[in-house]
Amino acid sequence: KSKGKKMAKAANKQVKLNAVLGAGIMGGGIAYQSAVKGLPVIMKDINRDALNLGLTEAAKILGKGIERGKIDASKLATTLNAITPTLEYSTIKDVDMVIEAVVENPKVKSSVLKETEEAVSDDTIICSNTSTISINHLAESLNKPERFCGMHFFNPVHRMPLVEIIRGNDTSEDTINTVVATTLKMGKTPIVVNDCPGFLVNRVLFPYFAGFSKLILDGADFVAVDKVMEKDFGWPMGPAYLLDVVGLDTADHAADVMSQGIPERMHKIDNDPVTLLHDAKRLGQKNGKGFYNFG
């Protein structure tokens, strides 16, 4: 009986104000998605230019939606007004949920999560959009790990339906229920998975990227591989283009974490073209050059 009561309470908890930490590719996209679905959001970064880029990106997505007749023109102002940019933690004190989307670095994420817990109330849900870092590891930086889980969006956020919700050892059912409900409210498809390197999607995707890197080292032409996978095999894009979309820095770092976490399935490749491009600061679409050059 008491379990039933607990479930009913969990189902009733509603997120009415959201916060996103980091206004980069993902943070900007998540803020847009929240706002466009009527869930106001505070977008925090440490860099004012990043905040401006996040807002510009949201405006661009809205502009395209209006052009294609998918979004009503009146939605532009309401959506942008629902995103509050900030550099201050004090602004997020009343939010119901925080989605951390700062750089994929365990030390930075751990300190951001600590700072977040100090800034919000005791029952605020805290999620991380990490692609690869263990949720159990990140949970160690929190006093109340039961209100913490992974909430992994995919890039580009406004187009990719899936969100992986990652349950840590200490995550409560209430937290999972609230995050599932909020994912649905944000117009996305939730899937709850356990904590493991790469979760579900990257566990499939990164061995594929590794296979692609080995082909390049064997002498294959990346443009030809992309053409085969895209035009002839029918995938939306080939591996080189997808790596440019993901970001070569993010992908390189993720490959490291995966090869350390599941060495029996994925090992680090010497002279991996992804690492070489990253070292050469060719980061992909985000800085205009990766495998391809972007205008």
Residues near ligand NAD (CB under 6 A) are: 21-27, 44-47, 50, 101-104, 108, 112, 129-131, 153-155, 246-247, 250, 286
Name the minimum Å distance from CB 26 to ligand NAD. 3
Name residues whose C-beta falls within 8 Å of residue 143's C-beta, 6 or more positions apart in sequence.
Answer: 117
Name the minimum Å distance from CB 36 to ligand NAD. 18
Quick one: tokens of 37? 């679905």
Name the minimum Å distance from CB 103 to ligand NAD. 5
| CA atoms in the 13 A half-sphere facing the CB of 21 | 31
Name the minimum Å distance from CB 123 to ligand NAD. 22
- C-alpha 107/C-alpha 99 separation (Å) is 17
Name the minimum Å distance from CB 112 to ligand NAD. 5
Nearer Cβ to ligand NAD, position 14 or 47?
Answer: 47
CA 35 to chain centre: 16
Nearer Cβ to ligand NAD, position 174 or 244?
Answer: 244
Nearer Cβ to ligand NAD, position 6 or 235?
Answer: 235
| CA atoms in the 13 A half-sphere facing the CB of 239 | 22
Nearer Cβ to ligand NAD, position 12 or 287?
Answer: 287
Pairing of strands 162-167, 148-153: antiparallel
Alpha helices per DSSP H over 140-272: 173-185, 201-217, 222-227, 239-246, 248-261
Catalytic residue, candidates 137, 152, 158, 278: 152
253 is catalytic: no
- If you search the block for the tokens 């998918």, which residue do you land on? 70
Q: Are 39 and 186 in contact (CB under 8 A)?
A: yes
Nearer Cβ to ligand NAD, position 96 or 244?
Answer: 244
Name the minimum Å distance from CB 104 to ligand NAD. 4
Torsion from C-alpha of 111, 189, 39, 202, nearest 10 degrees: 20
Conformation bin of residue 222: beta by default, left when phi > 0, alpha when psi is -120 to 50? alpha
Of all residues in the shown chain, the one whose CB is closest to ligand NAD is 24
Sheet bearing 148-153, strands edge to edge:
83-86, 41-44, 18-21, 97-100, 125-128, 148-153, 162-167, 189-194
Nearer Cβ to ligand NAD, position 97 or 174?
Answer: 97
Cα angle value 91/95/96 (rounded, 5°): 170
Instruction: Give the residue numbers annotated as catalytic, written as ranges.
Output: 152
